Amino acid sequence: MTAILDRSIRDIAQAVRDQEITAVALAEAALARIDVVNPHINAVVNLNPELTLKYAAKADAMLAAGEPLGALHGVPMTIKDSLDTFDFVTTWGTEGRADFRPGRDATCVARLRQAGSILLGKTNTPEFTLSFQTDNNLFGRTSNPFNLTRTSGGSSGGAAALIACGATPFDIGTDTGGSIRLPAHFCGIAGIKPTSGRVPATGNALPSDGLWAPLTQPGPMAKRVDDLALLLNIIAGPDWVDPNAITGQSLLGPEELDSPLRIGFHLSNGLAEPTVDILNAIQTVVDRLKQAGLNLTHHVPEGIEMTPLIFSRILGADDHETVLDLLERCNTHSPSAAIARNLAQPKPGFSAAELSQTLAVWDGFKSSMLRTFEHFDVLLSPVNAKTAIPHGEDEQMLDYSYTMTYNLTGWPAVVVPCGLDSEGLPIGIQVIAAPFHEHQCLRIAQEIQNQLDFFPIPSVLP
């Protein structure tokens, strides 16, 4: 019965509509697989099987009554615990919200429910999403299903680990510096960080206003690129609450492109040299695409070397006020180790002139980077300089510049798995496009997935 969970979301939804399987049986299958894998990886932090099965029974009754059905009718999902859910406890990974029910859904969650999806539970996240390793004081750490001594990444590490195990068809993550793309790379799944403003961040742990807000985007995570496109079309569009959500930008499916795309690529951004295994995996993709008749040219965007300086100054410019405010509002008195380290950093104490200069440099960086699209439609790069690191290992922050860059520019980026390293850990490739051109990076990501037909199977599965 659980084999149906390994099919695409479109196929699962069609199976429910065709009465090949009931929504109740589908939810039971997902809950059963969670029971098998979660003791190993600690990805799911909140379940309510009774409520889930009640929703599934209602979905079956709607189908039987001939009521209108959404695109995801009866399809189970999990949701990252940084995104509010009105009926499930939403902790944001912080002790002060250990039993907190928000009373309303995050915008993207509400849209998925309106499309007919059924919530299984919440997946683990570091406190306030502010770490590249998924660990917190409430639930502990999430392990990588390919090697339990390694991290699943952060901050959407619970989501990525569970999808990799086939225990949920999809999840919604959030990405401020790589928090969708890094776990996708570490756990061998697909994920997309949409264009800044494409999907409302209303109901996420990090506020949708303030200096950091343009960095953060919710986005779908699944095994297949085609499913990312389906889900993105459902959750995109302004909600008239998030001040950064953009109006008037339509979405296209990757199949709607009929002209060849100009593709740039680089194996290294000049800030952190990837491992040999990652370099070889990316080069193999480049070679396969060339053999398929696509035109690829080496390109490193002008200004990319400014990423670490600008990212660190933007995050530091508020003198810890964002984090301190979150701790106070959540009534959290004992922050996690990651948050404590953040607060232990000296306050930059920017003057108004220094803040103004930082914002001007950020705009100049975005302008310089945009010149890429005078010559290219899509850009390929590594996701990180390393594969999944051991639990608790200190990060080398330049390794994470491959994702941070595109939070600063606001460009959309997809990650798909493209190989395994010598230790059997997944390797992803990042496919980047111009703002509001998700259809282009999805198109090339789909081509890569078609060429490789690679869906790695975690060692934790029986």
Residue 195 has what DSSP assignment? Answer: P
Looking up tokens 């939804």, which residue turns up? Answer: 13
Catalytic positions, written as ranges: 80, 155, 179
Contact between residue 253 and residue 231 where contact means Cβ atoms under 8 Å apart: no
What angle do the packed helices 321-330 and 337-344 form, to 10 degrees?
Answer: 140
Contact between residue 9 and residue 230 where contact means Cβ atoms under 8 Å apart: yes
Rounded CA gap, 188 and 388, in Å? 10
The Cα-based distances of 352 to 136, 317, 329, 355, 358 in angstroms read: 35, 10, 27, 5, 10
Q: What strands lie across the sheet with 295-298, from one edge to the other?
A: 171-175, 217-222, 190-193, 413-420, 426-433, 378-382, 262-265, 295-298
- Radius of gyration for the chain, computed over Cα atoms and rounded to the nearest angstrom: 21
Positive/negative CA dihedral, 21, 220, 298, 187: negative
Beta bridge partners of 98: none
**Long-range Cβ contacts of 366-373 (<8 Å, 24+ apart):** 366/408, 366/409, 366/410, 368/301, 368/302, 368/303, 369/301, 369/302, 369/303, 369/304, 369/405, 369/409, 370/409, 370/434, 371/301, 371/302, 372/264, 372/299, 372/301, 372/302, 373/434
Rounded CA gap, 439 and 252, in Å? 6
Could you report how far apart the first and last alpha carbons of the chain are, in Å?
15
Backbone angles phi, psi at 193, to 5 degrees: -95, 110
